[in-house]
Structure 1
Amino acid sequence: MELADILAERAVLCCAGVETKRQLFERLAERAAELTGHPVADILEAIVNREELGSTGLGNGIAIPHGKIAGLKEVTALFARLDKPIEFDAVDDQPVDLVVMLLAPTGSGADHLKALSRVARMLRTESVVDELRGISDPAQLREVLIAPSEDHYAA
């Protein structure tokens, strides 16, 4: 599963003025609702419920909140680059500024896990993370995110 298949052009956001995890989730849920046709409340509930099980902040300023939505047609990704890092209860206690939200249909175990694995592997690549932090244009951010994996690991 390639990120290009699940990350629509309008699914990349540069977020200014986000100060809390809740505000971030609301902003992402609103965009996800536009893209998927599912209610904002359902998306927000799925993400918040998963986050209550334990923080999806991986460390190094990165988080991958995710949830499952009944009736969703396919795995969907959204990306947010925050202009100012926010508290996220990450494993390293560092604030977060790069976020990939993944939504999956209920019962999509393998596809959901493949997407999570793919995103986590890409965001462990220091050169990719540095490049993402240096860009503030959504189209350019998407290009970095959807670049073939060999481009990410070539260095």
Structure 2
Amino acid sequence: MNIGDVIAVEDVILDLRPEGKTRLLKELAVHAAGRTGCPAAEITSVLAARERLGSTGLGMGVAIPHAKMRALQRPFGAFVRLGTPCPFEAIDGQDVDLVVLLLLPEASPQEHLNVLARIARLLRDPDAVARLRQAADAVTIHQVLACSQPRPAVA
């Protein structure tokens, strides 16, 4: 499963300006609810529960809030480029401006779980992150997400 199979062009959101992490998660949940049919309150709840385990802020301005949901039949993702960086309790203390929401079916096969790993690798690639920050529109961002192959880590 490819990142582009999980995040549709309609799920690329530009210039969102949430007032904080909690508000950002609620806005992501509302968007995801409209696209998946799952209740926004339930999505907000599972995302908040995951964040209580530890922030999904990877550092360098990137976060990947994610959770498993019983009602989902297939993975759902959304990409958000914030108009104003948002505090997210990231491991490096930096505010985030790139956010990928990932919701997985509770009984996810390994293929679905690999999507999270692919997204994390992509968002650790400085070239890909720069292209995502500089892209002019949702279509271009979707192309970067769908077509980018992160460079393998150098030992």
Fold conserved between structures, TM > 0.5: yes
Higher helix share: 1
The equivalences for 1:26-45 within 5 A come to 26-45=26-45
Q: Structure 2-normalised TM-score?
A: 0.91
Corresponding residue for residue 88 of structure 1: 88
Shift, 1:148, TM fit? 4.5
The Cα RMSD (Å) is 1.6
What is the deviation of 1:20?
Answer: 0.5
The code of the aligned residue for 2:85 comes to P
Q: Which residue of 1 aligns with 2:141?
A: 141
Report what 1:63 is aligned to.
Answer: 63
Residue matched to 1:130: 130
Determine the structure 2 residue equivalent to 1:153: 151
Q: Which runs of 5+ in 2 are unaligned?
A: none
The TM-score with structure 1 as length reference comes to 0.91
- Aligned-partner SS, 2:10: helix
Q: How does 1:42-53 map to 2 (within 5 A)?
A: 42-53=42-53
Runs of 4+ in 1 over 4 A off after TM superposition: none
Q: Which amino acid aligns with 1:96?
A: V
Question: Are the equivalent residues in 2 in contact too, given 1:14–1:136 (CA < 8 A)?
Answer: no
Instruction: Assess if the C-alpha contact under 8 Å between 2:16 and 2:80 holds in 1.
Output: no
Task: Report if aligned partners of 1:64, 1:99 keep a CA contact under 8 Å in 2.
Answer: yes
Identity of aligned pairs, percent?
41
The answer on whether the counterparts of 1:46 and 1:69 sit within 8 Å (CA) in structure 2 is yes
What stretches of structure 1 of length at least 5 have no aligned partner? none
Whether the aligned pair in 1 keeps the contact of 2:46 and 2:67 (CA below 8 Å) is: yes
Alpha-carbon distance, 1:16 to partner? 3.1
Q: Which amino acid aligns with 2:113?
A: L
